[in-house]
Structure 1
């Protein structure tokens, strides 16, 4: 009997590196291998490649290249931004505002800042995952130095109204940071119009290499952060150390491709997602989380009532779907995102994220729906 084809439906966790990105990176492993900080022709060549990638990314996000600092990923960028900004501005106040369904990279850093004496206010979310803008407005005080809210949720795909949030935050003289990792390459982003003060994002979510990301600092808004790493002075002292030139070059190419193909690809994937959700909703007890909200075109989060999530996941062993964030899915615990939305532990543990990508086909969707439908019904019959 032929083995079942494995289907990858976890593109919010990571993506395969685009072949065009790999081709762009390859020379920087062998021919153009110089240290970008070296003062000779080998270093000049790689240094120029780094700056070209910085300009690519800045141009597509509509910000100044000088505002982009390369990091090892969005998690490191989050740590640099939050610790660096809050410690730099502690004399102005000690309150930070975020919300309960942020990524763990943000929440764990907030926890560390609380231990350093900062006061963190965690905004509630409603059953769909939305924050209350009035609650945000009331929460910002003269002691608030930073509001940190993600643009798009990594588990539900919900998109926060960043333009409205920006107006509230800046009218109160606070600064605004956003994790835009899941949004980059999926929806239009114009950092100049958004007027964010700090932003973080990563390469491997957009078919670029792992191990490289970026921190955006809006110098026009007079935002400065304290450095947390020392030695070498690279990246204006914010992220010293020998630069990952192949990764940075690949990052630049991945952003270029993502933005050039975004409109058509997002429309194609949205059609697939709509079919997926319409078909899955026919399963008794299926609930699409955040269904009524503005969401990423590729992301579905679905709960199955009265189903053991562990059993369902094990039986769907040819489908790569996720029970929450990839950063925490190695621990069997209810998603903090879904619990913040009011789901019980039991229902949250029988909830799954399905995220589509460039290689997802209509055949993949049809097979996935068939397998999920069959397995859910099998589990229900076993409970009778």
Structure 2
């Protein structure tokens, strides 16, 4: 049976080159990287530090600004929780469109530490209201504030108007954390030119292994932070515990390969996205795309989200597509037990009752034939329903 994997925003296939690096590391690196008294430990340590240097070089950061974590969720938790405990943050400004690892953590922090939280108003298509953002920042000018906004939305693909956020954060002396998990490894990013205080990444979003990621934290801020996880002195004493050496090596290699041929990868995904939009319009009259995912200039190339019309809620739609060999999703895999909070935030309830959201996310291993299989499968479902 023909198959098409179109859920790359949830997790990407791991590259063969990355697998080889990880296997070689598992076979040859037997020492504990903290056991620097002998060559086995020093060899393990050198793998970690060389990986850190490689990662920093690719995103134009300092190696000392890279803290390895178990993935994006832990990285977001590290940033948010440490901001409250170590930087004295008393107010958080975010949006209802963020990933659950941000929204649920902020909710927990607001309860535990009595932190005030504000949500920026959202215009149609998931566009943030920057006038409202400035009003909130001005109102809380005497509180230490952290702004937490996703660079590229993991469900609707909207790219944040990052320069506007940088300007407002600087104007009102607020820290800025961005969940860049859909961006790093998939889209150009330069930490020297961009005014992030914190950013987060996860290897399995850019053809690396699961269970490894990192937090980017500016050096001037990192100096103020105490251990997030205690019990050792690893990761500049921020995160204790023996490092995931083969995971770190795999992350580094995956990021290096992603940045090696960025231009052609982005062009390929833009072409796939344009083709998919064109083909969907042919089979679904008056199709409604969610957010700005249809706009190649205002969304990340890898994500397209639309409302599939149904006479009644068809919760087996994704299952039917899977039986036909097509893997897509409704939205965030980390929120799979609930309906998409992002789509609910930007879509009229009456429209939601007549449609089902479908997120298609492209990767570098996809081809036009995968889009053709998706279109053919949707047409089959349409014929069955008539």
TM category (shorter chain) comes to: over 0.9
Match of 1:19 among 16, 28, 33: 16
Q: Aligned to 1:182, what secondary structure does the other structure show?
A: coil
Please state how far the C-alpha of 1:311 moved relative to its aligned partner: 3.3
Please state how far the C-alpha of 1:346 moved relative to its aligned partner: 6.2
Q: After TM superposition, what 4+ stretches of structure 1 lie above 4 angstroms from structure 2?
A: 220-223
State the match for 2:364 in structure 1: 358
Please state how far the C-alpha of 1:217 moved relative to its aligned partner: 0.6
Could you tell me which runs of 5 or more consecutive residues in structure 2 were left unpaired when the two chains were aligned.
none
- For the Cα contact (< 8 Å) 2:75–2:213, is it kept in 1? yes
Aligned equivalents of 2:157 and 2:357: distance in 1?
A: 14
State the match for 1:99 in structure 2: 95
Q: String of CA shifts for 1:356-376, please: whole Å, max 9, x gaps.
A: 112111111111111113313
User: What aligned pairs does 1:1-384 form with structure 2 within 5 A after superposition?
Assistant: 4-39=1-36, 40-90=38-88, 94-116=90-112, 117-140=114-137, 141-142=140-141, 143-220=143-220, 224-282=224-282, 283-284=284-285, 286-289=287-290, 290=292, 291-292=294-295, 294-307=298-311, 308-317=313-322, 318-329=325-336, 331=337, 333-344=338-349, 347=352, 350-379=356-385, 381=386
Q: For residues 223 and 151 of structure 1, do their structure 2 counterparts lie closer, same or farther at Cα, with a shift above 3 Å needed?
A: farther
TM-score between both structures, scaled by the size of structure 2? 0.93
Q: Aligned to 1:158, what secondary structure does the other structure show?
A: coil
Q: For residues 345 and 24 of structure 1, do their structure 2 counterparts lie closer, same or farther at Cα, with a shift above 3 Å needed?
A: farther
Please state how far the C-alpha of 1:230 moved relative to its aligned partner: 0.5
Q: Aligned to 1:84, what secondary structure does the other structure show?
A: helix
Please state how far the C-alpha of 1:127 moved relative to its aligned partner: 2.0
Aligned equivalents of 1:288 and 1:346: distance in 2?
A: 12
Q: For residues 222 and 185 of structure 1, do their structure 2 counterparts lie closer, same or farther at Cα, with a shift above 3 Å needed?
A: closer
Q: For residues 347 and 232 of structure 1, do their structure 2 counterparts lie closer, same or farther at Cα, with a shift above 3 Å needed?
A: same
Q: CA RMSD in A?
A: 1.7
Please state how far the C-alpha of 1:345 moved relative to its aligned partner: 7.4
Q: String of CA shifts for 1:69-118, please: whole Å, max 9, x gaps.
A: 0000010011111011112232xx51110101000000000110110210
Aligned equivalents of 2:265 and 2:187: distance in 1?
A: 10
Q: String of CA shifts for 1:261-316, please: whole Å, max 9, x gaps.
A: 21101101111111101111221353111234601111100102334341322221
Q: Aligned to 1:204, what secondary structure does the other structure show?
A: helix
Aligned equivalents of 2:350 and 2:192: distance in 1?
A: 40
Aligned equivalents of 1:67 and 1:343: distance in 2?
A: 42
Q: Aligned to 1:327, what secondary structure does the other structure show?
A: helix
Q: String of CA shifts for 1:216-273, please: whole Å, max 9, x gaps.
A: 1112467733323100111111111011000001100010001112110110111111
Q: For residues 7 and 84 of structure 1, do their structure 2 counterparts lie closer, same or farther at Cα, with a shift above 3 Å needed?
A: same
TM-score between both structures, scaled by the size of structure 1? 0.93
Could you tell me which runs of 5 or more consecutive residues in structure 1 were left unpaired when the two chains were aligned.
none
Q: Aligned to 1:191, what secondary structure does the other structure show?
A: coil
Aligned equivalents of 2:232 and 2:85: distance in 1?
A: 22
Number of residues paired by the alignment?
373
